[in-house]
Copies of this chain bind each other. A is one copy, B any other.
Amino acid sequence: MLKKYAVGIDIGGTTAKFGIVDRNGKILEQDRVPSNEHAVVEDFIDDMYAKLMPMIDKVGGIDNFVGIGMGAPNGNFYTGTIEYAPNLKWKGIIPIADLIEKKFNLISRLTNDANAAAVGEMMYGCTKNIKHFITITLGTGVGSGIVIDGKILLGHDGFAGELGHTIIRPGGRLHKSTGMRGSLESYASATGVRETAIEMLTAQPETESLLRNYRINELTSETVYDCAMQGDNIANRIFEFTGQILGESLANFVMFSSPEAIILFGGLTKAGNLLLNPTRKHMEANLLPIYQNKVKLLFSELKEADAAILGASALVWNL
């Protein structure tokens, strides 16, 4: 009998969300536990088990499940371990997939959150029939998942696909947590948009802007968006610049793996065409002719609130 459900677990720095997902990407049950309160990972798993098992039993027990997929920072698909994740409480190498398998008696697979998003897109989203694509998550940071011939690109050690950290402006803006200069993430993230806003407002003190009505610590990608929609010139130029940096980076990625589509996801995509138009323009302008006007640039069809659980669950359907 075809098993009907998968568990998806998304482990973040403060919370782990988990849910029961069917083959169509419907989340039947979901809940969460803190991920920053347990000194050892086994206690965290015990807490999750206590909440998850009743949900599993409610839909007919573990015999109905293909397995448990997990997304976590620095999650390694090959080894099933979380390795030195800077924003998690558990240090060193955590063999979480093994621990979960033993606890639940279900097959478990792990990858990083950005890869999970790409697998989720392929299983439930807008790349169901696309074998070569890249997902770019534009949130607080910039994540990426690269799919080659229907499979997540992992590289020799499981760590492929950190496109947010590729350098697009050598010697450019400092990324505070990595210490690198000019990485994509330091511009094309919510944090980056805020920094661009501060830079532009400071560089042009005479230019009027609605953004000057906000206190510096109120400036966010959302306030920039609101002002841009009201026709504010500086706010519009902030998105134009962000799209330029993103588009140039995407062109480089296209000349690497020649994907059929690039899927944009995450908070910044709420800016819609304000971001998409300059991104597409600068991507095309930096492509060799053989790549031009071929790459679909799309927004994800997955709801942001569901995507992490969906992506994690998608890891175990085709085992």
A316 to chain B, nearest CB (A): 21
Given the contacts A180-B286, A288-B162, A170 and B248 also touching, CB distance less than 8 Å? yes
C-beta contact mask, A115-153 vs B, less than 8 Å → 1, else 0?
000000000000000111000000000000010100001
- Distance between Cα atoms of A286 and B255 in the complex (Å): 20
C-beta contact mask, A174-186 vs B, less than 8 Å → 1, else 0?
0000101000000
Contact in complex: B148, A252 (CB < 8 Å): no
Contact in complex: A290, B131 (CB < 8 Å): no
A253 to chain B, nearest CB (A): 7
C-beta contact mask, A248-277 vs B, less than 8 Å → 1, else 0?
100111011111100000000000000000
Contact in complex: B74, A290 (CB < 8 Å): yes
A192 contacts B by Cβ under 8 Å? no
Q: Which residue of B lies closest to A130 (CB)?
A: B156
- Distance between Cα atoms of A288 and B74 in the complex (Å): 12
Contact in complex: A288, B248 (CB < 8 Å): no
Identify which of residues 274-294 in chain A touch chain B, using a CB-to-CB cut-off of 8 Å. 286, 288, 290-291, 294
Across the interface, which residues of B come within 8 angstroms of A180, CB to CB? Answer: 286, 288
Contact in complex: A155, B74 (CB < 8 Å): no
- Distance between Cα atoms of A169 and B182 in the complex (Å): 11
A70 contacts B by Cβ under 8 Å? no
Partner of A167, one of B157, B160, B163, B251: B251
A168 contacts B by Cβ under 8 Å? yes
Q: Helix, strand, loop or mixed for chain A's interface?
A: loop
A166 contacts B by Cβ under 8 Å? yes
A194 contacts B by Cβ under 8 Å? no
A175 to chain B, nearest CB (A): 10
Contact in complex: A291, B159 (CB < 8 Å): yes
Contact in complex: B159, A256 (CB < 8 Å): no
- Distance between Cα atoms of A148 and B256 in the complex (Å): 12
Across the interface, which residues of B come within 8 angstroms of A148, CB to CB? Answer: 148, 153
Residue with the greatest number of chain B CB neighbours at <10 A, chosen from A84, A163, A253, A258: A258
Q: Which residue of B lies closest to A295 (CB)?
A: B156
Contact in complex: A159, B290 (CB < 8 Å): yes
In the complex, 14 of the A-B residue pairs with CB atoms within 8 angstroms, ordered by the A residue number, are A132-B155, A132-B156, A146-B256, A155-B257, A155-B259, A156-B260, A157-B258, A161-B257, A163-B256, A166-B251, A169-B170, A252-B252, A253-B256, A256-B256
Q: A residues near B, CB below 8 A?
A: 74, 83-84, 130-132, 146, 148, 153-163, 165-170, 178, 180, 248, 251-253, 255-260, 286, 288, 290-291, 294
Since A146-B256, A167-B252, A253-B256 are in contact, a sample of 18 more A-B pairs with Cβ atoms closer than 8 Å, ordered by chain A residue number, is A83-B290, A84-B290, A131-B156, A148-B153, A153-B256, A155-B258, A159-B258, A159-B290, A160-B256, A160-B257, A161-B257, A163-B256, A165-B288, A166-B251, A166-B256, A167-B286, A180-B286, A180-B288
